[in-house]
């Protein structure tokens, strides 16, 4: 996959490096020459330029891109104009870092595929982990719906998922089981295997139901 990254601050540069390390073709640009120089050895093609200009985007290879990532810091206008310019270049799959809920609403109206609000999203995940010592991780998946990793409650140790009947009792699904001693992740776990104290459960469902399970694990 070829991805064009516009804006190489901390978020944009980190994403460009991660995408490159995953084997994707990354082309990138920023108006700051120093930021471009820091990333020059990491990505396939990089340019000093303004992402709001379709001609500049074409020069860096945006017309051949499968997706675009926009991370223009606090400049909301530049973010919106860059999205429009990428659309003009034929890039249909757009991911954008936002700095406020208003910024997110504007981009949602433009039909971008996904908006990322790092500070807000990180704060929500931290609040969930702080609210229960049993929660190892928490990932919002949509309004009122999440996935969370939590320690197996003491009362569940030695019992099986079939016996616990979590979909019926709590309306949640166990997606995987992670054993920390062996560091193995088991997707679609055996419903008859007894749960162990060294394991955590990756559970998906409505937030209210996930909270009920978390209280059992505390």
pLDDT of residue 175: 92
Its domain, for residue 32, covers 2-116
pTM of the model: 0.64
CATH of the domain at 135: 3.30.70.1450
Same domain, 19 and 109: yes
As for how many domains the chain has, the answer is 2
Q: 116: closest CA among 72, 82, 85?
A: 72
Same domain, 37 and 12: yes
Q: Give helix 101-110 / helix 76-88 axis angle, nearest 10°.
A: 20
pLDDT of residue 132: 57
Distances in Å between the Cα of 171 and the Cα atoms of 77, 119, 142, 157 are 43, 30, 16, 20
What would the pLDDT profile of 40-73 be if each residue is shown by its tens digit?
Answer: 988 888 999 999 999 999 988 888 799 999 999 8
Length of the chain: 218
Computed from CA positions of residues 185, 188, 193, 199, in that sequence, does the dihedral angle turn out positive or negative?
Answer: positive
What would the pLDDT profile of 80-120 be if each residue is shown by its tens digit?
Answer: 999 999 999 999 899 999 988 899 899 999 899 888 887 66
- The last residue of one of the domains, among 98, 116, 134, is 116
- What residue ranges in 105-154 does DSSP mark as E strands? 114-116, 135-142, 145-151
Q: Hunting for tokens 């996935």 — which residue is that?
A: 147
What would the pLDDT profile of 137-192 be if each residue is shown by its tens digit?
Answer: 778 787 888 888 888 888 899 999 999 999 999 999 999 999 988 888 899 899 99
d(CA 115, CA 97): 6
Same domain, 82 and 151: no
**Mean per-residue pLDDT for 190-204?**
92
């Amino acid at each position: 996959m070829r991805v064009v990254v516009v804006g190489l601050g901390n978020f944009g540069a980190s994403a460009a490096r991660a995408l490159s390390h995953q084997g994707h073709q990354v082309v990138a640009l920023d108006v700051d020459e120093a930021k471009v120089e820091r990333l020059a050895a990491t990505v396939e093609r990089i340019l000093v330029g303004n992402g709001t200009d379709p001609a500049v985007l074409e020069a860096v290879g945006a017309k051949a891109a499968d997706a675009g990532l926009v991370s223009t810091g606090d400049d909301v206008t530049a973010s919106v104009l860059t999205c429009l310019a990428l659309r003009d270049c034929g890039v249909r799959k757009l991911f954008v870092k936002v700095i406020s809920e208003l910024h997110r609403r504007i981009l949602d109206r433009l039909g971008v595929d996904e908006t990322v609000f790092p500070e807000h999203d990180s704060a929500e995940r931290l609040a969930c982990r702080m609210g229960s010592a049993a929660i190892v991780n928490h990932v919002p998946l949509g309004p009122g719906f999440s996935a969370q990793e939590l320690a197996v409650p003491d009362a569940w140790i030695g019992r099986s998922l079939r016996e616990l009947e979590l979909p019926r009792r709590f309306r949640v699904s166990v997606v995987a089981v992670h054993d920390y001693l062996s560091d193995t992740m088991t997707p679609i776990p055996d419903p008859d295997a007894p749960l162990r104290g060294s394991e955590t459960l990756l559970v998906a469902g409505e937030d209210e139901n996930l909270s009920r399970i978390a209280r059992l694990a505390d």
